[in-house]
Structure 1
Amino acid sequence: MTRDDPLLDQIVRLLDVRLLDPLEVLLEGDDAVDALRQLVRLRARGWASAIRGDDDTTATMAMARLIATLYPGDGPFDPPADWWATPLGQTMARRLGHPWFASIPYATAGAMLGITRQGVHDLVKRGRLPRHPDGGVPSEAVRDRLRALSDSQDPPGDSDDQ
């Protein structure tokens, strides 16, 4: 792992745990798994770069492929609140907002912003975040707020958000 790239480290770690370790068990330690580990590490650098890159379509597709592979399921991807604090979660929140829901609950918005549900409620009450007509807040508004906070170099949980 790189130790200086948390996003890359998370991608590699998740692929190791969710895909390669089980494959190693099934194949009884076959050397082919070591070759796959090396390939995954090489490709993970490209995925992390694509996710951070300037091309929104490429970034979205890279994140979608990773999410579909790492978190398979029959329903839409709806990670637990603490996932949004991870490097992949924070990158996705800034890049896309919530990828499958236009309206997100205050608790999810808070997790994405790094503040409490009450902090989101206060932002809505003060007009700093809009309320979604279906309840909660628009995912794109959370994304836009994260982008604005990134641009201003303030942390998402600055004193204005508390």
Structure 2
Amino acid sequence: MTLVEQIVRLLDVRLLDPLEVLLEGDETVDAVRVLLRTRAKRWADTLLNGDDPAATMTAARLIANLYPGDRAFDPPADWWATPLGQAVAVRAGHPWAESVSYATAGAMLGITRQGVHDLVRRGRLPRHPDGGVPSAAIRDRLRGETP
């Protein structure tokens, strides 16, 4: 699945399908669906190719609207392996956490929790003073900007 496909699928399931039910199949939903497919391509392009502030803002807007809730965004580990999860990790790290657990860091990096522990022990990833790994360090490693 590509990033655009994942965004479109999430928009359909989380926003458009419920709207279609509420509006009883109104054709307006089809027009919104076409518009959102076009915008999904732009959002994906911004996430992959835009500057860091634009990519981070796009990630935050998508997450806030596609994963609403009363708690801070804390996706399951397997979310980080999705195209959207990887784009967010590379562009913003974890958008709402200064540091993440070794398990989350591993999911973001595509390695095990033990693999993260080994990287920290060898000085290849810093340890956050409050525990875990700084989100920015994960982002930097994914970008190939390791020390």
Is the shorter-chain TM-score for this pair beyond 0.5, marking a shared fold?
yes
The answer on 1:79 being equivalent to 2:75 is yes
How do 1:41-120 residues align onto structure 2 when only pairs under 5 Å count?
41-120=37-116
Q: CA deviation at 1:148?
A: 0.4
Q: Give the whole-Å Cα distance in 1 for the aligned partners of 2:106 and 2:54.
A: 27
Q: Give the whole-Å Cα distance in 1 for the aligned partners of 2:10 and 2:45.
A: 17
Which one has more relative contact order, counting CA pairs under 8 Å at least 6 apart? Answer: 2
User: Match for residue 144 of structure 1?
Assistant: 140
CA RMSD of aligned residues (A): 1.4
2:34 maps to which of 28, 32, 38: 38
User: Match for residue 22 of structure 1?
Assistant: 18
User: Match for residue 155 of structure 1?
Assistant: none
Q: CA deviation at 1:58?
A: 1.4
Q: CA deviation at 1:125?
A: 1.0
Q: Give the whole-Å Cα distance in 2 for the aligned partners of 1:79 and 1:29.
A: 31
Runs of 4+ in 1 over 2 A off after TM superposition: none
Residue type of the partner of 1:108?
T
Tell me the alpha carbon deviations over residues 91-120 of structure 1, each in whole angstroms, 9 at most, x when there is no partner.
110111111111110000000000110111
Tell me the alpha carbon deviations over residues 59-97 of structure 1, each in whole angstroms, 9 at most, x when there is no partner.
111111111100111221111100000001001101111
Q: Structure 2 unaligned segments of length 5 or more: list them.
A: none
TM-score when normalising by structure 1: 0.86
Q: CA deviation at 1:53?
A: 2.2
TM-score when normalising by structure 2: 0.95
Q: Give the whole-Å Cα distance in 1 for the aligned partners of 2:8 and 2:56.
A: 18
Q: Structure 1 unaligned segments of length 5 or more: list them.
A: 152-162
